[in-house]
Structure 1
Amino acid sequence: MYMAKAAMKPVKRSRLRLFAGKRYFIWRRYLKWVVQPGKRALTRKTADLPHVAMNHATPLLRSLRNVDMELQYNKIVNLKLAVAKLNGLLIRPGETFSYWRMIGKPTRRKGYLDGMVLHYGGFHSGVGGGLCQLSNLIYWMTLHTPLTVTERHRHSYDVFPDEQRTQPFGSGATCSYNYLDLQLCNETENTYQLKLWLDDTHLRGEWRCGEEQLYTYEVYESDHVISLEPWGGYIRSNQISRRIFSRTGELAGNEWITGNHALMMYSPLLHESAPQEIPGN
């Protein structure tokens, strides 16, 4: 864990290196799509499958310090365009789902607007900004199903405090076209359907399935720690796991999901006599 946290010390890179590195990873992903196409989920169905496996909603607008609200209103437009590409998607047994292959590249020509994009601990405006809210929602819902997450990227920076947070820290999935993707595989014998929509206040989603799930899932965090590093920054860490319950409510298993380390971009509220490492609640 120490080596992982030590590697998070900020390193300033030139714009040229950042530009070249991003293009390299984008084109490497394009090549992978060609040589490893996989059995993709492509069919969408308007009618709902009969059983709700998991549903969740996240607010469309938040009061974020120093963030222009216009970027959040633009985000709503971007979310509507992306949701139109995903709503109703069926993932049959053996099929895989790729967030970016289904949505495609967000461009102005397609109607995407400038939204907020997190970048190296800060944020700026960018075309298609705000789509991480959708990938976060899908990932969180997926953790409550037996679908297998084959690719997910965590946020390397903790940019905003926990105001109104309803999920454990580190339970989201960041995205950036096309090399930071969210990918799932259906290794079950049950067909799943992704339902997404927006109302006046929230982005909403459901995983539905053809047959009732055998198990339910409770996602939780442990080992939540904020540590002051020797180089002067704060690192926030935790572990994400889930408890698995049978239909009768009996505990059937406990699975570790992932570990998170993020560089905090705000100062934690530390008591003067507090130690350097603070267990979370």
Structure 2
Amino acid sequence: MNAGKSAMKPVRRSRLRLFAGKRYFTWKRYWTWFIRRGNKATKHRSEALPYKAAGHSTPLLRRLRNVDMQLQYNKIANLRLAVARLDGLVISPGETFSYWQTIGKPTRRKGYLDGMVLYYGGFRSGTGGGLCQLSNLIYWMTLHTPLTVTERHRHSYDVFPDEQRTQPFGSGATCAYNYLDLQLQNNTDRTYQLKLHLDDTHLYGEWRCDDKQLYHYEVYEADHVIRLEPWGGYVRSNSIRRRVFTRSGELAGDEAVAENHALMMYSPLLHPPTELTEGR
């Protein structure tokens, strides 16, 4: 889903086109779900599998310029509802995982509130807003496992500066019901389990496994660049890669993960950010 560098100039679309496009892609996804049933992961297990494969946590609240904090408090309520649907989900060998098929449509009837939704380089409120924090967390953890990411969508806009960023730019997975999904497949011979919970300050996640990992992973950024385009805007690009290490610490591989290109919605830094890594 990565757009080419020459396709980054913003395009203004009418409200009618945006409305029609969203309905088209939503119903296209419903049709895909109907005709491609597949071997979906649906079973949950309350008891955690014995081995931790990967884990991460992210803060629930960030003070963002011009963003009403109530939207973030509402986000926490939305996350609790989504976590309840995902916590304990088991993905057996050969099974697939769909973020939106598992959570379902976030509606007011189910208790979802208005949270912050990124929208064409800005933000607005929307029912179920804030669930990208959960898809970002799951994606980041998955990059530290042998599970295969079969669908992931990047953010087309870089909305907020790097202050307090702890992961490489472009290492998240944006989501929008239901056409921007996060999907995984277990092509290993081991069973994995997703464990999630919240406390007063953070969202926590783990991938658990029924056996020890053969490898561990270091995810890092490469080829970071900020370009001033002829039309006057800045485009930020990079690639996400990961190093694969054996249990003894030997380098077993260096893999390309994703390529990112995003329109910057703020003035670029005078100095490029230092390389951020998380791994060993």
TM-score range, shorter chain: over 0.9
SS at match of 1:238: strand
Q: How does 1:2-21 map to 2 (within 5 A)?
A: 4-21=4-21
Report if the CA contact (8 A) 1:144-1:216 is conserved: yes
> 2:35 & 2:66 partners in 1: Cα distance?
44
> 1:209 & 1:12 partners in 2: Cα distance?
46
Counterpart amino acid of residue 205 in structure 1: G
Counterpart amino acid of residue 178 in structure 2: N
SS at match of 1:82: helix
When the two structures are superposed, what TM-score results if normalisation uses the length of structure 1? 0.96
After the TM superposition, which segments of 4 or more aligned residues of structure 1 sit over 6 Å from their partners?
none
> 1:176 & 1:165 partners in 2: Cα distance?
22
**How much does 1:268 deviate?**
1.0
> 1:96 & 1:54 partners in 2: Cα distance?
18
Please give the per-residue CA displacement for 1:9-59, whole angstroms capped at 9, x wherever unaligned.
011000000000000000000000000011000000000000000110000
Aligned to 1:101: 101
SS at match of 1:137: helix
SS at match of 1:6: helix
**How much does 1:162 deviate?**
0.6
**How much does 1:279 deviate?**
8.3
Aligned to 1:148: 148
Residue 62 (1) aligns with residue 88 (2): no
Residue 78 (1) aligns with residue 78 (2): yes
Q: How does 1:176-191 map to 2 (within 5 A)?
A: 176-191=176-191
Q: How does 1:42-53 map to 2 (within 5 A)?
A: 42-53=42-53
Q: How does 1:118-129 map to 2 (within 5 A)?
A: 118-129=118-129
> 1:188 & 1:11 partners in 2: Cα distance?
42
Aligned to 1:110: 110
State the percentage of identical aligned residues. Answer: 76
**How much does 1:269 deviate?**
3.1
SS at match of 2:126: strand
Q: How does 1:22-61 map to 2 (within 5 A)?
A: 22-61=22-61
> 2:16 & 2:106 partners in 1: Cα distance?
23
Please give the per-residue CA displacement for 1:199-231, whole angstroms capped at 9, x wherever unaligned.
110000000000111000000010000010000
CA distance 1:10–1:241, shift in 2 (3 Å): same
Q: CA RMSD in A?
A: 1.1
> 1:279 & 1:192 partners in 2: Cα distance?
34
**How much does 1:280 deviate?**
5.8
Aligned to 1:200: 200
> 1:250 & 1:114 partners in 2: Cα distance?
47
> 2:182 & 2:149 partners in 1: Cα distance?
8
**How much does 1:165 deviate?**
0.3
SS at match of 1:242: strand
Residue 260 (1) aligns with residue 260 (2): yes
**How much does 1:61 deviate?**
0.1
> 1:244 & 1:268 partners in 2: Cα distance?
32
Counterpart amino acid of residue 116 in structure 2: M
SS at match of 1:224: strand
